[in-house]
Structure 1
Amino acid sequence: MGWLRLFFLYPVSLYQGTAFPFALLFNYLCSMDSFSTHARHLFLLAGGGALALAAMGSFAVLVFIPALGTVVLIYSLGPQEVHRWAFFFQMSWQTLCHLGLHYTEYYLQEPPSTRFCITLSSLMLLTQRVTSLSLDICEGKVEAASRDIRSRSSLSEHLCRALPYFSYLLFFPGLLGGPLCSFQRFQARVQGFSSVCPRYSFWTFTWKGLQILGLECLMVVMRRVVSAGASLADCRQLQCIYVMWSTAGLFKLTYYSHWLLDDSLLCAAGFGSEFGESPGEEGYLPDADIWMLETTHRISLFTRKWNQSTARWLRRLIFEQGRAWPLLQTFAFSAWWHGLHPGQVFGFLCWALMVKADYLIHTFANLFIRSWPMRLLYRTLTWAHTQLIIAYITLAVEGRSLSSLWLLCNSYNSVFPMVYCILLFLLAKRKHKVN
């Protein structure tokens, strides 16, 4: 079961690749004055509907229903009530769908449909857009066109005013992946679009394509290494550390490649960073900062840079709203959002402890380590330890099931998070005494 997410990411990448020509077509059409804002919204919405049906089949209705429900809530409720009800409705719907996956995997003991897994992934991304939009309305950043669904306006007028919301929630470049695009940015691009310099666009996409190709080649090598070696079920002692590192490396390479493809699709459609920012607009943030992720010696920095747009969304939605234990609330919600599988609950709670320990360890080290040779040694050791802890968390989250989690916890790999847990206890106790 631990490989399920890897398997369904490949067809997702395939569908994202087929959407690429349509993104370029949208980019080209937007440079024409005859292509109105209304037509742009319809193009994005129709593309999203077609992509959903192609990738999810009949399961696409599980994405269409909450999108429709969200628009109804926006038109029916006041700005201060929208976020609470939209959050409750969307997370309840997503949780019911995740429970269906639990039932298939753990009760029926059957592999779930690939289309259903793609649908769940799309629902998670829809949750981001729904809650981001509802928060914008609640905070006054976005003004809903009308909140009286019973007004005397005709049905066609209601649909025209609701079209931007439908288009945003289901637009095809962000349906199956990609960094979270705020509604403000989405509207700014649709309403005031200008085509990018062809030469700049060509070199941008060429560079991204070379990066994806390089990652795919590395993935082939890593897949052969992982397949030829032992697994956590039959590894011996220190060999389990190598098994964990190589398997987690394959997962990370898969995500990096997928995120770069998603980012390229958004850029091709005109929602990327190279088009500049509008005043008051939430900046574009790509998900993958590979160099920073692979070189940092701090778990807290890795956490902020891993899937960056999601990290920013979680910070805004949970961390900044939480009054008590905001860090724990954020990681607990992340486990809920991912589906509440046993490995995910353990992995995200472990991650929260590691981030807390990271802050205390590095604060303490900065006070007492002065010479550059000791700092170099310290950075090297903490880099290796950070990479191994992240590998441990990755296998816990991606393994998901209790059996996979049991194998991981019973291996030598548990030493690495245990060291940080002990240091967290000792340094927290020391800090308390000092205070």
Structure 2
Amino acid sequence: MRECKLAYLLVGGVILACVSMGQYAVLIFIPALGSLVLLYTVSWQSVHVWTFLLQMAWQTGCHLWLMYRQHYLEETLPIKLTITISSLMLLTQKVTSLAMDLHERKVALTADGCMKKSSHIPWKNNVLYTLSYLMFFPALLGGPLCSFVEFQQQVSRASMCTNLRRAWTVTRGCMLFMLLQALQVVLIKKVNFEGNLMDCKNLQCVYVMWSTALLFKLTYYSHWLLDEALFHTAGFSTELYSHMSVCDGNIFTLETTNKISVFARTWNKSTAKWLRRLIFQNCQRRRTLYTFAFSAWWHGLHPGQIFGFLCWAVMLEADYRIHKYYGSKPFFPRVLYNTLTWLQTQLIIAYIMLAVEMKNLAFMLALCFSYNTIFPAIYCILLFLLPEKKGAAPKHTLPHR
């Protein structure tokens, strides 16, 4: 029964890759099989280093090839190629997550494919389990990062989530998805985002920036809801996810928080946790900077992405210091303080999101020389003016995909 479930997830992933990516699916199959070979041949002490370097080298090469075709050859990229690159980024998460589990000796895989917590059981790969984890279709094109242990627990369950509960979750997800898609259509008709931001004047640029960022956020929110519905359609449930929720973002928290740090931890939560574990916790100094710099590398190293993520790192440090300083002093009434910081948070996030999503240098320069730069500039000034308080380091994490 377990083997049937694994085969179902693996074959479904292969079929989905071929249908959605076409000939570019080979860019996914090669690193997946290559990672499997590494897990067979490399010792647990160094497997995380080899998998990280080779996976990121392959992904970076694909990103550079994409940039060459897009900017130098000025080609219109096929949608299947864009889907492939996005799926490759998700594959990098799963490969490095499994490699870190092995290196840290948190888990060991026995010959029968059962995951057990042990520091003594030798690593014996089960090909079907590993390939199914890397290619299972509910998380191939989107969705949160599921650890190997959680994946094994879900597959090993005697029964899937009840049909009634599954039907309700899928129906709710699809209805909310269609609602957000309808809002996007209405917004697109009112905002010609790229042209308006390049040509806007004065404070009109603030409105264009906010509405364009809202369009991008609606896209992410709708995809996350659809990903959750797909998880339940495949028979997965959220009950065994003790360290994560299936949905990658709490929309209410994202839209109401007045702290950039809270937004960073809530936006694409599983990716944020992955980056914290992979980079942040392994750096002794300048953790936030290195984490966001790596995220720019992981996303593709476009000029806008480099600028956007480094700006995010600075804004996160400023946000932590501002709330540490003003949050404990009765300078402002609490309602006024929360309102002002909420407005700043939403506008700064919109600024960063446009830089990251639009990517190219010309758009980034237009954004930098617009009135929108006032908002991150305020936080930059406060970062240098306010004293740094001693205390526990902030739990900075990075979002986004």
- For the criterion TM > 0.5, the same-fold answer is yes
Report the counterpart of residue 117 of structure 2 in structure 1: none
Deviation per residue, 1:339-392 (Å, 9 max, x gap): 000000000000000000000000111221277xx1100100111111000000
Greater fraction of residues in helix:
1
Report the counterpart of residue 417 of structure 1 in structure 2: 376
Report the counterpart of residue 340 of structure 1 in structure 2: 301
In structure 2, give the amino acid aligned to 1:71. Answer: L
Distance 1:176 1:126 in 2: 9
Deviation per residue, 1:114-145 (Å, 9 max, x gap): 11111100000000000111111111222144
Choose the corresponding residue for 2:269, options 308, 318, 335.
308
Report the counterpart of residue 213 of structure 2 in structure 1: 248
Report the counterpart of residue 326 of structure 2 in structure 1: 365
In structure 2, give the amino acid aligned to 1:401. Answer: N
In structure 2, give the amino acid aligned to 1:276. Answer: L
How far 1:230 moved relative to its partner?
Answer: 6.2
Choose the corresponding residue for 2:81, options 108, 112, 116.
116
How far 1:267 moved relative to its partner?
Answer: 2.1
1:45 aligns with 2:10: yes
Deviation per residue, 1:97-118 (Å, 9 max, x gap): 0000111112112222211111
Distance 1:189 1:366 in 2: 43
How far 1:202 moved relative to its partner?
Answer: 2.5
Q: Percent identity?
A: 53
* Aligned residue pair count: 378
Contact 2:307 2:355 in 1 (8 A): yes
Q: Secondary structure at the match of 1:103?
A: helix
Distance 2:208 2:90 in 1: 31
Contact 2:213 2:350 in 1 (8 A): yes
Give the direction of change, closer, same or farther, for the CA distance of 1:160–1:410 in structure 2 (3 Å limit): closer
Distance 2:386 2:134 in 1: 45
1:276 aligns with 2:235: no
How far 1:191 moved relative to its partner?
Answer: 1.6
How far 1:160 moved relative to its partner?
Answer: 8.8
Report the counterpart of residue 323 of structure 1 in structure 2: 284
1:384 aligns with 2:349: no
How far 1:323 moved relative to its partner?
Answer: 1.2
Distance 2:193 2:284 in 1: 49
Contact 1:71 1:162 in 2 (8 A): yes
Choose the corresponding residue for 1:174, options 123, 128, 139.
139
Report the counterpart of residue 127 of structure 1 in structure 2: 92
Give the direction of change, closer, same or farther, for the CA distance of 1:370–1:415 in structure 2 (3 Å limit): closer
Contact 1:260 1:288 in 2 (8 A): no
Deviation per residue, 1:249-287 (Å, 9 max, x gap): 1010011001110111112223331x335xxx6444421
What aligned pairs does 1:169-318 form with structure 2 within 5 A after superposition?
169-227=134-192, 231-273=196-238, 275-277=239-241, 282-318=243-279
Distance 2:214 2:244 in 1: 30
Distance 1:192 1:397 in 2: 40
Distance 2:194 2:21 in 1: 34
Q: Secondary structure at the match of 2:62?
A: helix
Choose the corresponding residue for 2:57, options 84, 92, 97.
92
Contact 1:237 1:411 in 2 (8 A): yes
Q: Secondary structure at the match of 1:355?
A: helix
Distance 1:210 1:376 in 2: 35
Contact 2:227 2:247 in 1 (8 A): no
Q: Which moved more, 1:264-273 or 1:42-51?
A: 264-273
TM-score computed with the length of structure 2 as normaliser: 0.90
Structure having greater relative contact order (Cα 8 Å, sep ≥ 6): 1
Q: Secondary structure at the match of 1:368?
A: coil
Q: Which moved more, 1:206-215 or 1:71-80?
A: 206-215
In structure 2, give the amino acid aligned to 1:204. Answer: T
Report the counterpart of residue 37 of structure 2 in structure 1: 72
In structure 2, give the amino acid aligned to 1:330. Answer: T
Q: Secondary structure at the match of 1:320?
A: helix
1:352 aligns with 2:313: yes
How far 1:310 moved relative to its partner?
Answer: 0.6
Distance 1:351 1:418 in 2: 12
Report the counterpart of residue 119 of structure 2 in structure 1: none
How far 1:211 moved relative to its partner?
Answer: 1.6
Report the counterpart of residue 16 of structure 1 in structure 2: none
Choose the corresponding residue for 1:427, options 376, 386, 399.
386
What aligned pairs does 1:18-33 form with structure 2 within 5 A after superposition?
none
Contact 1:137 1:143 in 2 (8 A): yes
Contact 2:355 2:367 in 1 (8 A): yes
Contact 1:229 1:243 in 2 (8 A): no
| Larger-Rg structure | 1
Q: Which moved more, 1:61-70 or 1:220-229?
A: 220-229
Deviation per residue, 1:62-83 (Å, 9 max, x gap): 1001000111111101111111
Report the counterpart of residue 364 of structure 2 in structure 1: 405
1:56 aligns with 2:21: yes
Report the counterpart of residue 31 of structure 1 in structure 2: none
Report the counterpart of residue 396 of structure 2 in structure 1: none
Distance 2:294 2:237 in 1: 28
Q: Which moved more, 1:413-422 or 1:320-329?
A: 320-329
Give the direction of change, closer, same or farther, for the CA distance of 1:68–1:229 in structure 2 (3 Å limit): closer
